[in-house]
């Protein structure tokens, strides 16, 4: 019976040593999932909103940044009494250029996160909430909430114990 208790004790010690590392990896997976989704669904015009998904470790980002790959601002066009937003540059290219640059900046930050250190994903633009409420036809309302739900779904399939 002593062997059984000693084995159990060893298993608990091993679990205690690896649990924080495994939980940290799960946290990084969650952050990457949420950020990747936000970069793919945030409406684009100049690249400003996509570029401003900032990943930090010490505190949420407070200041907006310039777009990584700025594009020309679109304009309202009226045709047959209907006003529509028209882009001057290809939105898919704007997204690709700015999201790849954002990922290049954020990947090493997420990778550097230590156990018990929070990862913040912030967009400090004053109009991001308006976009999230459905102001743009490029993304559904509550796309930020959707990214969080997607992250939780991915996290629910991650195991941190054997």
Q: How many CB atoms are closer than 10 A to CB 150?
A: 17
Encode pLDDT of 148-162 as tens digits: 999 999 999 988 877
Can you give the pLDDT at residue 161? 77
Instruction: Give start and end residues of each alpha helix (H) in the chain.
Output: 2-41, 48-51, 91-112, 128-132, 143-156
Could you tell me the pLDDT band of residue 1, with boundaries at 50, 70 and 90?
A: very low
State pLDDT tens for residues 76-128.
Answer: 899 999 998 899 999 999 999 999 999 999 999 999 999 999 999 999 999 99
The CA angle 122-142-102, to the nearest 5 degrees, is 35
Residue pair 45/98 in contact (Cβ under 8 Å)? The answer is no
Q: What is the pTM of this model?
A: 0.88
Q: Who wins on pLDDT, 132 or 15?
A: 132
Q: How far apart are CA 73 and CA 88, in angstroms?
A: 7
**Mean residue pLDDT across the chain:** 94
Rounded CA separation 97/102 (Å): 9
pLDDT of amino acid 96:
98
Measured at the CA of 104, the angle between CA 40 and CA 34, to 5 degrees, comes to 40
- pLDDT confidence of residue 3: 66
Nearest to 32 by CA among 112, 132, 124, 93: 112
Residues in Cβ contact with 30 at an 8 Å cutoff, skipping those fewer than 6 apart: 151, 152, 154, 155
- Calpha distance 13→16 (Å, rounded): 5
Q: What is the pLDDT of residues 28-46, one digit of tens each?
A: 999 999 999 999 999 999 9
């Amino acid at each position: 019976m002593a062997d059984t208790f000693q084995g159990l004790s060893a298993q608990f010690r091993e679990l205690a040593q690896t649990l924080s590392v495994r939980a940290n990896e799960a946290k990084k997976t969650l952050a990457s999932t949420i950020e990747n989704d936000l970069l793919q669904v945030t409406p684009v015009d100049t690249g400003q909103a996509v570029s401003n998904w900032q990943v930090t470790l010490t505190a949420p980002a407070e200041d907006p940044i310039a777009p990584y790959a700025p594009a020309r601002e679109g304009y309202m066009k009226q045709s047959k009494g209907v006003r529509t937003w028209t882009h001057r540059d290809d939105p898919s290219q704007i997204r690709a250029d700015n999201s790849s640059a954002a990922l290049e900046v954020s990947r090493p930050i997420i990778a550097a996160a230590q156990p018990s250190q929070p990862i913040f994903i912030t967009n400090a633009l004053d109009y991001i909430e308006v976009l999230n409420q459905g102001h743009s036809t490029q993304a559904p309302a509550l796309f930020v909430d959707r990214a969080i739900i997607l992250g939780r779904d991915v996290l629910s399939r991650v195991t941190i114990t054997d």
